[in-house]
Amino acid sequence: MPVKSIYTNLSLAQRREILAQRLHQCRAATLELFAGMDSVTFCAQAHPDFSPVGWHLGHIAYTEAKWLLERCRGDRPLFPQYQQLFAADGLPKHARVQLPTLTETHDYLEVVRSEVLAYLETASLDPEERLWRWIIQHESQHSETITLVLLLQGKYPSHPLPEMPRGSNQIPDLAEMRQIPAGYFDQGNDSLDALDNESPAHSVYLETYWIDRYPVTCGQYRVFMESGGYRDRRWWSEAGWQWLQSQSTEIPLTQPLYWLDIPTREDHPVCGVSWYEAEAYANFVGKRLPTEAEWEKAACWDSSTLQSHPYPWGAAEPDAHRCNHNHAVGQTTPVQAYPEGQSPSGCYDMLGNVWEWTADWFDGYEGFTSYPYRGYSQAYFDQQHRVLKGGSWATRPGSLRGAFRNWYHPVVRQILAGFRCVRHLV
């Protein structure tokens, strides 16, 4: 059955209060990333594929104003001078470095938000609430992109790793796999929070398979590295090998982008790998990457009740006891650190810590309808983007759920991504 929102049973005043609170929480978390930031960091393009962090901040205000004030309330643009600069299709990424100051951009956000909150008091939520929730998630997603751009610049503040609960004195077998029995399950999401690419929810049949209980760890990936995995053509697809050679023209690629060569991180998930690196490792250990349906069934399907939950642990919203998310730790954590976040199948870290590559190309489910515009998802149904699931340590709560689908080119390794593997027989 589709996952439905509990909020439709609340009064209009309660729904408005929830939206206002979430708008505030999301914005406070976004602005915290800019505390004490210098102008060079604000305007610099750290990588050709990513815009400056200052552009993302202005784009957040632009998008909020465009959809809620201009499209819904019928306003004219409050800041017409920013219409081209902060539009997603306005300027190429390399031309987005000439930006207003942080103070000016902050003022832009404040003026827009003041008008948005005023509009919320009279907005008709029955037709619009999905759009308001989309706006919050849009900011959350750009906030995570801001985080990874700061990481690429070496400007994200370091966080000492706290003492993590282990749940047991026994040392877990990090290579353990869990069996997922054959049968149907409900994939996707039809709630008010669902993005267009998550819908419609639908029934999928899968044969029995086995999936890694934990994401692949640094310790496991180190074996691949030390066995010459980056030099051995056997483990790489043709496209993967070509990509690897293109990255090794001067200095050979030998490790993930965010490799932390510290023994105490051996039980952390590997982070900063491309899809091709994940595929090569899976080949090395005689497994493969999961389809997104296999991943989602292991994460959210409860075979005892024949229901899909929005989260691995049930219906309760994410918190710091169940998964590593929302900058609570500021880096990866051991893969066995959150026993309260296990899925019904017994898998750990299905949400938070690192995004996980899947085998599938990003595409719409049967019956897909774009929302709020074609370019949000449908423009990427091009057989050039692979699906990632699960969220990372920087993912905001509003975008953290089992049905959520992220997508990137298979060559990208700058995102906070790792993976786990599957196989049909053990």
Reply yes or no: is the peptide bond before residue 372 cis, omega within 30 of 0. Answer: yes
Q: Does residue 327 contact residue 157 with C-beta atoms inside 8 Å? A: no
Q: Which helix (DSSP H) or strand (DSSP E) does residue 14 occupy?
A: helix 12-32
Q: Does residue 355 contact residue 289 with C-beta atoms inside 8 Å? A: no
Confidence of residue 169 (pLDDT cuts 50, 70, 90): low
Residue 350 has pLDDT above 50, yes or no: yes
Buried b / exposed e over 82-91, threshold 16 CB at 10 Å, is: beebbeeeeb
Q: Which amino acid is at 16?
A: R
* Structure tokens that stand for 351 in this block: 């949400």
Query: What does the pLDDT average to over 130-148?
Result: 97
Per-residue pLDDT, 3: 39
Query: What does the pLDDT average to over 341-361?
Result: 98
Q: Does residue 337 contact residue 267 with C-beta atoms inside 8 Å? A: no
pLDDT digits (tens, 9 = 90+) for 47-71: 999 999 999 999 999 999 999 999 9
Closest by alpha carbon to 51, among 78, 82, 88?
A: 88
* Structure tokens that stand for 68 in this block: 């809620």
Q: Does residue 70 contact residue 76 with C-beta atoms inside 8 Å? A: yes
Query: What does the pLDDT average to over 278-283?
Result: 98
Look up the pTM and report it. Answer: 0.95
**CA-CA-CA-CA dihedral for 150, 38, 329, 135, to nearest 10:** -70
Average pLDDT, the chain: 94
Residues 57, 36: Cα–Cα separation, whole Å = 15
**β-strand 183-187 against 202-206: which pairing, if any?**
antiparallel
pLDDT digits (tens, 9 = 90+) for 97-128: 999 999 999 999 999 999 999 999 999 999 99
Residue 359: strand, helix, or coil: strand
pLDDT digits (tens, 9 = 90+) for 301-339: 999 999 999 999 999 999 999 999 999 999 999 999 999
Residue 262 has pLDDT above 90, yes or no: no
